[in-house]
Amino acid sequence: MQHRAMALKRKGQVVGVVPTMGFLHEGHLSLMRIARQRCDVLVISIFVNPAQFGANEDLEAYPRDFERDERLCRQAGVDLVFYPDPASMYAADASVWVDEESLSGVLCGASRPGHFRGVCTVVAKLFNIVQPDLAVFGEKDAQQLRIIERMVRDLNFPVTIVRGPIVRETDGLAMSSRNRYLSVSQRKDALCLQNALAQARVLVQEGERDVSVISEVMRSGIEAVPDAQIDYIEFVDDDTLAPMERIEGRVVAALAVRIGATRLIDNALLEV
Amino acid letter, 260: G
Amino acid letter, 115: H
Q: What does residue 164 show for φ and ψ, rounded to 5 degrees?
A: -110, 135
**Torsional class of 64: left (φ above 0), alpha (ψ -120 to 50), beta (otherwise):** beta
- Rounded-to-integer distance, Cα 20 and Cα 139, Å: 14
Positions marked active-site: 28
Asked if 117 and 51 touch (Cβ cutoff 8 Å), the reply is: yes
- DSSP state letters, 211-247: HHHHHHHHHHHHHTSTTEEEEEEEEEETTT--B-SB-
Q: What's the maximum distance between 2 C-alpha atoms anywhere in the chain?
A: 58
- Rounded-to-integer distance, Cα 232 and Cα 131, Å: 36
Asked if 73 and 36 touch (Cβ cutoff 8 Å), the reply is: no
